[in-house]
Amino acid sequence: MYTLACRKAAKPKAKAATATKSAAKATGTGKRRKYPESAEQFILGLVKGKGATSAEINAAWKKARTGRADNTLTKMVKAKTVKRTKLPKGQKGSTYTAAPAPF
């Protein structure tokens, strides 16, 4: 027969398992890396002048950093520090150029 006492005894076990998962998650698996320049400065250096395609930016990013530059590119396009132009039909990606400074 199932009683209220059995139900209360089962709850602390479930909470204990959840607590150990969150404690393990809080410690993380790796350290944050530090780079000589910010992600935005890195991309602005690449797109200055003639501009660069998303493939060129990601290739340069991969040599200097981990991951991909896509998140930073999107953030910069929304902030209007970089301008995105689609590549011609049949090619994947976009061309990025530095946006002119507002007056």
Asked if residue 30 belongs to a domain, the reply is no
Asked if residue 20 belongs to a domain, the reply is no
Q: What is the pLDDT of residue 73?
A: 94
Asked if residue 17 belongs to a domain, the reply is no
The reply to whether the predicted model has a pTM over 0.85 is no
Distance separating alpha carbons of residues 23 and 20, to the nearest angstrom: 5
* pLDDT averages per 10-residue partition of the chain, 103 residues: 60 54 64 87 92 94 92 94 92 91 74
Domain coverage including residue 69: 39-98
Rounded to the nearest 5 degrees, what angle is found at the Cα of 98, between the Cα atoms of 94 and 99?
A: 105
Count, residues in the chain:
103
What total of structural domains would you count in the chain? 1
Task: Give the CATH number, domain containing residue 55.
Answer: 1.10.10
Backbone φ, ψ for residue 33 (5° rounding) = -90, 155
Asked if residue 5 belongs to a domain, the reply is no
Q: What is the pLDDT of residue 32?
A: 83
Asked if residue 82 belongs to a domain, the reply is yes
